[in-house]
Structure 1
């Protein structure tokens, strides 16, 4: 167990090195100017997509095939936005308001630290312990073709999502427009999203941990989490995450890049579909199906709101 965890930890640290080293090769002071460096300096967004395709889509996919486990992309969902942010910030073509850039850098690191902590806590502080349950389901659906279908379903699709939702980071470092009131609104929205997601995920972690202890003791488990933020929304962790990304978009909108709404919109639509899959999965579990159906009738699916007064189902007479 310890050996496998160490191996996966080493893999996790090594896989982004090709992109990092290539990036440093043309931004460090003293590096000779050449045709490649000039092209890279002139095309920051295109270069970001090329590096993502080669380093994440191709290399991560090959590692996943070798390990028979596509866990890397889940871990790097919490890291790639930070890498993209510093790529845009340190790029030779970058220009930005100092305060706006500093605020977004600080907020993004906080967001990443929270999400990384939650991921590792959920996985028992093990690297590569398991892959996303949705990948497991797709593995069963595609069968023998999964080895190549995974390239599109797991990796290429992630490029669309991650590059798209991180576009505001590019906008922030492509304009030196002074800090304004809408930047305050954007920052406040981002903070609200991070705080909400933190408390929702912490409440969920405590619920799962408590049920695991009850199960080991042979005692009945609690079928549904209905305390804290979960009494106002069935997916408050998802709502918090979406607030973060839409708050980030507000920075771009304030800079005249309103078209960048496509990133958070596609991500929200995707997460809406994931919500449906999660709820279907809950209803397939016999021990919690009835309780979850009642929870669905009582509780708002996304936007936090007061619970509906729905009577408990009557017990069948024996």
Structure 2
């Protein structure tokens, strides 16, 4: 998948497809596991796991698309492009695409256990599912609050340069806290 996205980035002249991988790889991995491991069948664990991953992926994809991620290159990759010059095409394969692929694949390893274990859900599984669901809610609320703040700045309804209300009053990056919490919840599940 990452190689296809890398080739697409070469054709587009921008690396934004790598950011899209984060929201589509885990749901695709769920489908692959279900197809390759059909013996587990339909069970609570698969339903809960796939529903949570789909919900998480939908939120992340919506956030990426609605904030103009499609077509927009992250400033860090633009800096790398300037630094590597004509060698950026191969440097991006290793430092951007394959590096993130390895990290994302290792983060998703627990999905195999979630989707292939035929045992009924346990209290730990329920706690993991609750943590995952709470993390998605935290991320979604953070997104909405940030979007409202950005709109207020754009419309000159506030002079604040930093959001310090709502969840942002309690955490500098509640969206990142939600993302980190999501992966721990998935591990628990």
Determine whether 1:89 maps to 2:46: no
Structure 1 residue ranges (4+ consecutive) displaced by more than 4 angstroms after TM superposition: none
> What residue in structure 2 maps to residue 226 of structure 1?
164
Pick closer, same or farther for the CA change 1:84–1:76 going to 2, 3 Å: same
Determine whether 1:179 maps to 2:125: no
Give 3-state SS (helix, strand or coil) of 1:130's partner. coil
On the 8 A contact 2:6/2:17 being kept in 1, the answer is no
Give, in angstroms, the shift of residue 92 of structure 1: 4.0
For 2:153 and 2:73, how far apart are their aligned partners in 1? Answer: 22
TM-score by length of 1: 0.56
Deviations 1:8-29 (A, max 9, x none): xxxxxxxxxxxxxxxxxxxxxx
> What residue in structure 2 maps to residue 118 of structure 1?
63
Segments of structure 2 that go 5 or more residues without pairing to the other structure are none
> What residue in structure 2 maps to residue 243 of structure 1?
181
Segments of structure 1 that go 5 or more residues without pairing to the other structure are 1-54, 252-318
Pick closer, same or farther for the CA change 1:132–1:66 going to 2, 3 Å: same
For 1:142 and 1:108, how far apart are their aligned partners in 2? Answer: 36
For 1:135 and 1:96, how far apart are their aligned partners in 2? Answer: 42
Give, in angstroms, the shift of residue 157 of structure 1: 0.8
Give, in angstroms, the shift of residue 141 of structure 1: 2.5
For 1:114 and 1:66, how far apart are their aligned partners in 2? Answer: 27
Give, in angstroms, the shift of residue 144 of structure 1: 2.7
Give, in angstroms, the shift of residue 97 of structure 1: 7.2
For 2:39 and 2:98, how far apart are their aligned partners in 1? Answer: 27
**More RCO (CA 8 Å, sep 6+):** 2
Pick closer, same or farther for the CA change 1:94–1:202 going to 2, 3 Å: farther
Q: Which has the higher helix share?
A: 2
Determine whether 1:140 maps to 2:82: yes
Over the residues paired in the alignment, what is the CA RMSD in angstroms? Answer: 1.9
Q: How many residues align?
A: 189
> What residue in structure 2 maps to residue 100 of structure 1?
45
For 1:179 and 1:80, how far apart are their aligned partners in 2? Answer: 25
TM-score by length of 2: 0.92
Q: Which structure has the bigger radius of gyration?
A: 1
